[in-house]
C-alpha cells in the first residue's frame, strides 16, 4: 500500500485531504505541531507525529518510505503574519526547506505545496493568470512566494507542484479564529451574535472555493502526471464581492446584520483566479456554487453553535 506524508493534518484543509487519501486506500502519515490545529481533527487511521516542521529533528521521527509529501502545515493568516514575521517565516518557509531536504534524501516522488493567492499582491480587476507578476503585500505572501522559489531551485532533485489556493471555506474550518478565513469569520459572528464586524470595504472581491473542490484538486495534483514543476491557481474563476458574500451569509442566518470598520493589514483589494491552467492540467471543470457551499457550511456550523456561543471572542481582534 502506498504511503503519503501529509503535513498540517490537524488543520482545516490537511485533515480533509488526509481523509480522502485514506478513502482511496493510502497509508497516511500526518505531522502537525497543533499550534492552530486540533488533535480531534486528525482522521482515524492516520499515523500521527506531533512536531514542529521548522525543527529538522521533527523529520527524523517521520518514516522514510513515503512516496509523496502533501505540505499543508503553516501559519495561514496574512493578518497574523505581521504579529511576528520571523515566526511566520519559520512556519511557512523554513518548514518547506526542511521538507525539501527530507524529500531529496528519501527520493520522494512528488511534493505538493500549499501556496496562496497572496503571492500576487495588488492586481487589476481581471482573472489573474499564473504568469502575473508576484509582488506580495503581506509577510505571509512573501514567505509563500519564497517557499515556491525554493521548490523551483531544487526542482530537478525533487519533483513538485505548488497550488496557489484562493479563499477556501467549508465544514471543518476553525470557527473560533476570527483572524483567518473570511467566510468562517463572517459566519461565526453571524451565528454567535447576529452581528458581523467587517474589516475593510464591501467592494473588495474574492474567489471562494468550497473545501470538497479543493480536496479534489489536491488529490489530482498528487496523482496526475501533467502538473510537475508548475504553480497552479486553485480557484473557481468566479468574482464575488465581499458585499455579496455578506448578503448571502445574512440570508442564511436570519436576523444577522453587518457593520464596517477599519481594515486588515496587507489585505488585497480584490483578486480572482484565471483557472484555465487548472482545467488543462487537472481537468477540473466543475465547482460547487457559492450558495450551495455556504448552505452546507452554515448547516454544519449551526450544529456547533452552542459551543460557538461559549468559545467565540466577543470582539474580533483589532
Ligand X SMILES: NC(=O)c1ccc[n+]([C@@H]2O[C@H](COP(=O)([O-])OP(=O)(O)OC[C@H]3O[C@@H](n4cnc5c(N)ncnc54)[C@H](O)[C@@H]3O)[C@@H](O)[C@H]2O)c1
Binding site for ligand X (CB under 6 A): 8, 10-14, 31-37, 52-54, 72-76, 91, 95, 114, 116, 165, 167-168, 174, 181
CB closer to ligand X, 39 vs 194: 39
Is 258 marked active-site? Answer: no
Q: What angle do CA 105, 38, 36 make, to 5 degrees?
A: 75
Nearest-approach distance from CB 167 to ligand X, in angstroms? 5
Interacting residues of 236 by C-beta distance below 8 A, sequence separation 6+: 166, 207, 208, 209, 213, 273, 275, 287
Nearer to ligand X, 34 or 260 (CB): 34
CB-nearer residue toward ligand X: 75 or 189: 75
Whole-number minimum distance, CB 125 to ligand X, in Å? Answer: 20
C-alpha to C-alpha distance for 8 and 12, rounded to whole angstroms: 8
Nearer to ligand X, 165 or 301 (CB): 165
Give the shortest CB-168-to-ligand X separation in angstroms. 4
- Contact in structure between 29 and 66 (CB atoms under 8 Å): yes
CA distance 73 to 95: 8
Provide, rounded to whole angstroms, the least separation between the CB of residue 123 and ligand X: 16
Closest CA to 182 of 77, 269, 307, 91: 77
DSSP 9-74: TTSHHHHHHHHHHHHTT-EEEEEE--SS--GGGSPTT-EEEE--TTSHHHHTTS-S--SEEEE--S
Pick the closer one to ligand X by CB: 36 or 240: 36
User: Which of 102, 140, 169, 186 does the annotation list as catalytic?
Assistant: 140
Helices (H), 83-199: 85-89, 95-105, 139-153, 182-193
Query: Shortest Cβ distance from residue 37 to ligand X (Å)?
Result: 2
Active-site residue list: 140
Amino acid at each position: 500500500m502506498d504511503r503519503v506524508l501529509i503535513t498540517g493534518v490537524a488543520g482545516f484543509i490537511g485533515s480533509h485531504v488526509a481523509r480522502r487519501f485514506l478513502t482511496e486506500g493510502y497509508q497516511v502519515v500526518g505531522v502537525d505541531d497543533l499550534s492552530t490545529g486540533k488533535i480531534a481533527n486528525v482522521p482515524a487511521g492516520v499515523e500521527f507525529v506531533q512536531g514542529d516542521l521548522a525543527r529538522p529533528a521533527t523529520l527524523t521521527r517521520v518514516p522514510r518510505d513515503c512516496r509523496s509529501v502533501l505540505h499543508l502545515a503553516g501559519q495561514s493568516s496574512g493578518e497574523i503574519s505581521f504579529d511576528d514575521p520571523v515566526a511566520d517565516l519559520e512556519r511557512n518557509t523554513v518548514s518547506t526547506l526542511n521538507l525539501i531536504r527530507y524529500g531529496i534524501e528519501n527520493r520522494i516522488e512528488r511534493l505538493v505545496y500549499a501556496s496562496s493567492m497572496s503571492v500576487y499582491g495588488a492586481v487589476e480587476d481581471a482573472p489573474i493568470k499564473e504568469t502575473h507578476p508576484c509582488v506580495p503585500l503581506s509577510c505571509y505572501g512573501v514567505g509563500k512566494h519564497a517557499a515556491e522559489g525554493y521548490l523551483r531551485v531544487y526542482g530537478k532533485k525533487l519533483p513538485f507542484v505548488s497550488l496557489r489556493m484562493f479563499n477556501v471555506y467549508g465544514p471543518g474550518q476553525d470557527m473560533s479564529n476570527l483572524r483567518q478565513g473570511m467566510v468562517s469569520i463572517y459566519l461565526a459572528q453571524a451565528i454567535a451574535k447576529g452581528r458581523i464586524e467587517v474589516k475593510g470595504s464591501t467592494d473588495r472581491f474574492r474567489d471562494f472555493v468550497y473545501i470538497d473542490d479543493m480536496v479534489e484538486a489536491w488529490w489530482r495534483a498528487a496523482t496526475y502526471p501533467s502538473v510537475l514543476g508548475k504553480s497552479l491557481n486553485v480557484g473557481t474563476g468566479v468574482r464575488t464581492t465581499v458585499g455579496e458574500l455578506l448578503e448571502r451569509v445574512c440570508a442564511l442566518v436570519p436576523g444577522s446584520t453587518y457593520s464596517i470598520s477599519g481594515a486588515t493589514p496587507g489585505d488585497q483589494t480584490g483578486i480572482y483566479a484565471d483557472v484555465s491552467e487548472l482545467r488543462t492540467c487537472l481537468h477540473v471543470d466543475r465547482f460547487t456554487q457559492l450558495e450551495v457551499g455556504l448552505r452546507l457550511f452554515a448547516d454544519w456550523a449551526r450544529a456547533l453553535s452552542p459551543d460557538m456561543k461559549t468559545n467565540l471572542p466577543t470582539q474580533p481582534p483589532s
